[in-house]
Amino acid sequence: MSQAAFLAVDWGTTNLRAWTVDGGGAPLAHREFPLGVSRLKPGEAAAVFRDTVRPALGAEALPALIAGMVGSNLGWKEVPYVDCPADAQALADRILWIAGEQPLVGIVPGLRGQGLGGPDVMRGEETQLIGWLAQDPARLRGRHLICHPGTHAKWVLTDAGRIERFITAMTGELFAVLTEHSVLGGRDGDAEGAGFDLGLAAAGDGSALAARLFTARARVVGGGGLEPAQVRTYLSGLLIGADVAATPRLLDVPAGTPVALVGDGRLCAQYRRAFAHAGVPVEIHSGEAAVLAGLHVLFQIQSRKGGPP
């Protein structure tokens, strides 16, 4: 068995995922904890990491590199954003090494770019993107459009291995607040997902979303062929369909530009269905593999320099 080189951590809003990784970037052990930064008390991150995360992986003696919301003002220590365009080197250079931590703990900075009429931001996805770019040398050449679906979906343009621009769409969060807190409701029970395809059709060009969303109610109470049990999948199709139809245009990419979907498998499959409806070719890539690759690349750049300060 290879020797672990470092402890790789994706510490997000809801969960914390950690891997010991060997010198070649291969994962050795993996643990997941319901210890996202939204669940921590102020100032608790350091102790949680030392007392819970390290021992669970037998990683008391390993340097650690962490990406995600842990670098926000709600996390361990706020790490200033790096501005786009940015590549792996720019991010590695700005890793924040926590003062006084032994073994070393570094936090990857988030990215800030020119979004829709103002700055847009990400924390965590930049590491997945760096990893995805590093997984295939062809991706370090030319321009690519990547979609990272989720609570706050990220639409990203890369060029020559740099992250150039991105736009965030709060598609997943809209789904959550509308199904949990609005008049639309949304029961489960559409096993075949027929409602999803009805929702994709209702998404149209993605304009006038407030009007399109109300169709989820009007078609139920007005006899429009939508069953109450289909409302939830209908809303999912409508919101994802509107995202796919409207957001890439904001990045000025030509219609039909192929898209790399990087992220959670179930979400990526839903987006693939929406892209298929729109006639856009896609490839799906594992978000977990991408974040591991990204942390490995960033850690290696630091090591080549002779290690962190």
- The binding site for its own copies (CB under 8 A) comprises 72, 81, 112, 115-121, 152-153, 155, 167-171, 173-174, 177-178, 180-184, 201-202, 204-215, 217-219, 221-226, 239, 242-243, 246-247, 249-250
> Nearer Cβ to its own copies, position 190 or 243?
243
User: Nearest distance from residue 6's CB to its own copies, in Å?
Assistant: 29
User: Nearest distance from residue 205's CB to its own copies, in Å?
Assistant: 7
> Nearer Cβ to its own copies, position 49 or 76?
76
Q: In terms of residues, how long is the chain? A: 309
CA pair distance 153, 272, nearest whole angstrom: 14
> Nearer Cβ to its own copies, position 2 or 38?
38
Q: Is 211 helix (H, G, I), strand (E, B) or coil?
A: helix
User: Nearest distance from residue 224's CB to its own copies, in Å?
Assistant: 4
Helix axes 194-203, 209-221, angle to 10 degrees: 140
User: Nearest distance from residue 254's CB to its own copies, in Å?
Assistant: 17
Count other Cβ atoms within 10 Å, centred on residue 89. 14
Run of H or E residues at 145: strand 143-148
CA pair distance 217, 231, nearest whole angstrom: 8
Query: In the numeric block, which tokens belong to residue 130?
Result: 């760096």
User: Nearest distance from residue 121's CB to its own copies, in Å?
Assistant: 4
Count other Cβ atoms within 10 Å, centred on residue 44. 13
User: Nearest distance from residue 77's CB to its own copies, in Å?
Assistant: 15
CA pair distance 25, 42, nearest whole angstrom: 32
Question: What's the start-to-end Cα distance of the chain, in Å?
Answer: 29
CA angle 146, 206, 165 (to 5 degrees): 30
> Nearer Cβ to its own copies, position 59 or 242?
242
> Nearer Cβ to its own copies, position 168 or 302?
168
Q: Which amino acid is at 298?
A: L
> Nearer Cβ to its own copies, position 244 or 295?
244
* Residue pair 3/22 in contact by the 8 Å Cβ criterion: yes
User: Nearest distance from residue 239's CB to its own copies, in Å?
Assistant: 7
